[in-house]
Amino acid sequence: MNGYIKEGDEKYLYNINKWSKEAISQGVSPEEIVGIHRTALLTIPEKLPDIVLSSLEVLMTVMVNYGADYRRNLIIKKQQEELQKEILKAGKIQKSLLQTEIPSKEHLDVGVCDKPANQMSGDYYHFFENETAITVSLADVIGKGIPAALAMSMLKYGMQNAPDDVVSVSGMLSYLNKVVEENISDNMFITMFLGVYDKSNKVFTYSSAGHEIGFWYNALDNEYQDLYAKGLMLGIQEEVTYHEYQRSLSIGDFIVVLSDGVTETRIGDGFIERETLKELIYSFHELSAQDIADNVYKKLAELQNFKLYDDFTLIIIKRIA
């Protein structure tokens, strides 16, 4: 400081700036900075007016309160950083626990675009394939964060450990509804779509627990139909009976299963219209299932300036043989 006062050279300001950054990193408080400044002033040979020293005393007193807030903010910041690290770890664990394999392309071409709005997704999709059928499920937790991730893990292991007598899609939803109703909090619910494609008769049987309505593209008639399915969300009441619906798929037909993060794409002050969404999907209908899903996501992301307001999951299931 003495050098800058005597010479006015900005190199001294540069050094002071470096020092201040180091002081901040070491947790030096604002009132301590003022105290250091006052001590440095006292080393100047010329006598300072009493008013200058008195004003520094006032400033130091004020800075005590600022310093207390500063230290509290440092603690909060550190806690937030630690929490963020834990959430990132939890997100990786969630991804590992909920991973699934896309079915082979012998019967169906399946594509998935899954984009979480935050580190941890509230959407969960799963595939299962055996010699006779391919099962697809998509669930969406009404809630976010770690509780939603734990609910998804519970749902997955509930499906894997279902009793042997649960053989239909409606029966599986009824069973999962009991699992959810008994094990998660009263203010958390889950929507779910569950479908099974029979490899022999080419029929897609599906049921829904309050999930977003998907689409069926009929290649022969070149038109869409809604995959309407009525059913209560999982976890609302203990005993629920779900209904089954069927679609016969021809080559070129495809099923669109989606979460509300797709249909609630924001355009201006509202959400995208279902007809607009159908037209967008149709514009890519000749591509592979994965390319359809990826291109639809890119277009929708552009419409809302690449900001996701909700978890986005889009599944395309196209019959190819």
Q: What is the CA 197 to chain-centroid distance, rounded? A: 28
Residues 195 and 82 in one domain: no
pLDDT of 102 > 80? The answer is: yes
Q: Looking at 91, 106, 123, which one is the last position of a domain?
A: 91
The stretch 16-45 carries a mean pLDDT of 76
Residues 155 and 298 in one domain: yes
Rounded CA-CA distance 268/248 in Å is: 38
- The confidence band for 26, taking pLDDT boundaries of 50, 70 and 90, is confident
Q: What is the pLDDT of residues 301-311, one digit of tens each?
A: 988 887 877 88
pLDDT of 9 > 80? The answer is: no
Characterise 27 by phi-psi region: left (phi > 0), alpha (psi -120 to 50), beta (else): left
Residues 38 and 56 in one domain: yes
Strand order in the sheet with 133-141: 123-129, 133-141, 190-198, 203-209, 245-248
Domain of residue 39, CATH code:
1.10.1240.30
Planar angle of CA 43, 44, 46, nearest 5 degrees: 135
Rounded CA-CA distance 40/3 in Å is: 11
The stretch 175-200 carries a mean pLDDT of 90
Residues 31 and 167 in one domain: no
CA distances from 207 to 126, 151, 174 (A): 15, 20, 10
pLDDT of 4 > 70? The answer is: no
Residues 70 and 183 in one domain: no
Residues 110 and 133 in one domain: yes
Give me the percent of the chain exceeding a pLDDT of 70: 91
Residues 127 and 188 in one domain: yes
Domain of residue 164, CATH code:
3.60.40.10
Residues 86 and 109 in one domain: no
Average pLDDT, whole number, for the chain? 85
Say whether 193 sits in a helix, a strand or coil: strand
User: Which pTM value belongs to this model?
Assistant: 0.73
Q: What is the pLDDT of residues 29-43, one digit of tens each?
A: 777 777 777 777 777
Domain count, the chain: 2
The stretch 133-149 carries a mean pLDDT of 83
**Can you give the pLDDT at residue 94?**
61
Residues 238 and 180 in one domain: yes
Beta-sheet strands, E only, within 142-275: 190-198, 203-209, 214-218, 223-227, 245-248, 254-258, 266-267, 270-271
Q: What share of the chain is helix, strand, coil (3-state, %, to 5)?
A: 45, 25, 35
Residues 235 and 174 in one domain: yes
Cross-strand pairs, 136: 127, 195
Q: Looking at 43, 63, 91, which one is the last position of a domain?
A: 91
Q: Looking at 75, 91, 107, which one is the last position of a domain?
A: 91
**Can you give the pLDDT at residue 5?**
65
Q: What is the pLDDT of residues 72-91, one digit of tens each?
A: 887 888 888 887 777 676 66
Cβ neighbors of 201 (< 8 A, separation 6 or more) are 248
Residues 200 and 129 in one domain: yes
**Can you give the pLDDT at residue 71?**
74
Planar angle of CA 200, 201, 205, nearest 5 degrees: 110
Domain that holds residue 126: 98-319
Name the residue with higher pLDDT: 198 or 11. 198
Q: Are 222 and 281 in contact (CB under 8 A)?
A: no
Residue type present at position 260: D
Residues 87 and 177 in one domain: no
**Can you give the pLDDT at residue 10?**
74
Q: What is the pLDDT of residues 203-261, one digit of tens each?
A: 999 999 999 999 999 999 999 999 999 899 999 988 899 999 999 999 999 999 999 98
Query: Parallel, antiparallel, or unpaired for β 108-115 and 266-267?
Result: unpaired
